[in-house]
A and B are shown apart, each in its own frame.
Chain A
Amino acid sequence: MKNLAKFVFLIMLLPAAALAEGGDDDSTWNNTLKTQFFAGKTIEESDAVIELEAPYRAEDPAIVPVKVTSKMPQGKDKYIKKIWVLVDKNPFPFVGEFEFFPESGKADLAMRVRVNTYSNIRAIAETNDGKLTMSKKFVKASGGCSAPVGADLDEAMKRLGKVKFRLDDGMKPGQPTEAQLMISHPNLTGMQMDQMTRYVRKSHFIDQLKVTFNDKPVLNAKIDIAISADPNFRFYFIPDKPGELKAEFSDISCESPVSRKVCDKGASYSQQYAVTP
Chain B
Amino acid sequence: MNAASWALPALPVTEAAPGVFVHRSEHHWPDRENHGEIANIGFIVGDDCVAVIDSGGSPQQGIALRQAVKKVTAKPICYVINTHVHPDHIYGNRAFKNKGVRFVGHYKLARAMATRAPHYLSKADELLDIRVSPDNIIPPDLQVKQTMSLNLGNRELVLTAHPAAHTDNDLSVYDKNTDTLWLADLLFLEHIPVIDGSIRGWLKELRRLAQNHYKLVIPGHGPLVKDWPLGSQPHIAYLEQLAGEIRAMLKQGKTLEYAVDHAGLSAKKNWQLFEQFHRKNVTIAFAELEWED
Contacts and interface: CB of A to CB of B under 8 A. Distances in A.
Give the dominant DSSP class at B's interface.
Answer: helix
A259 interface: no
A148 B196 CA distance: 11
A169 to B, nearest CB: 6
Interface stretch (A76-84, A123-131, A195-203, A212-220): A195-203
Given A144-B30, A192-B114, A197-B110, A17 B119 contact: no
A146 B111 contact: no
Contact of A65 (B4, B195, B256, B280): B256
A151 B127 contact: no
A116 interface: yes
Interface stretch (A32-40, A97-105, A152-160): A152-160
Nearest to A182: B290
A136 B290 CA distance: 29
A152 B198 contact: yes
B116 A17 contact: no
A271 interface: no
Interface string A52-69: 000100011001010100
Contacts, number: 127
Contacts of B123: 117, 143
Interface string A143-184: 111111101111100010010101011000000000000101
Give the dominant DSSP class at A's interface.
Answer: loop
Contacts of A151: 164, 167-168, 195-198, 284, 287-288
Given A60-B284, A148-B119, A159-B291, A193 B197 contact: no
Contacts of B283: 59-60, 63
Interface string B1-36: 010100000000000000000000000011000000
Given A159-B291, A191-B118, A196 B256 contact: no
B147 interface: no
A183 B87 CA distance: 31
A88 interface: no
A143 B117 contact: no
B30 A147 contact: no
A147 B256 contact: no
A180 to B, nearest CB: 8
A155 B127 contact: no
Given A153-B168, A155-B198, A196 B280 contact: no
A145 B119 contact: no
Which bracket fits the contact residues of A?
35 or more
A147 B115 contact: yes
Interface string B169-213: 000000000000000000000000011111001000000000000
B161 interface: no
A55 B113 CA distance: 28
Contacts of B164: 151-152, 154-155
Which of the listed residues A116, A142, A193, A228 has the most CB atoms from chain B within 10 Å of its own CB? Answer: A193
Interface in A90-134: 110, 112, 116-117
A200 to B, nearest CB: 8
B287 A199 contact: no
A31 interface: no
Interface of B: 2, 4, 29-30, 86-88, 108, 110-111, 113-120, 123, 125-127, 129, 134, 137, 139, 164, 167-168, 194-198, 201, 253, 255-257, 260, 276, 279-280, 282-284, 287-288, 290-291
26 contacts: A17-B126, A20-B126, A59-B283, A63-B284, A65-B256, A144-B29, A144-B30, A145-B196, A147-B115, A147-B116, A147-B120, A149-B119, A151-B287, A153-B111, A154-B108, A155-B198, A155-B288, A169-B253, A184-B291, A191-B118, A191-B119, A192-B115, A192-B118, A193-B117, A197-B114, A230-B287
Per CB-CB distance, the 3 closest pairs between chain A and chain B, nearest first, are A197-B114, A59-B279, A143-B127
Given A184-B291, A192-B115, 8 more contacts: A63-B284, A143-B126, A144-B30, A152-B198, A159-B291, A168-B253, A195-B134, A197-B139
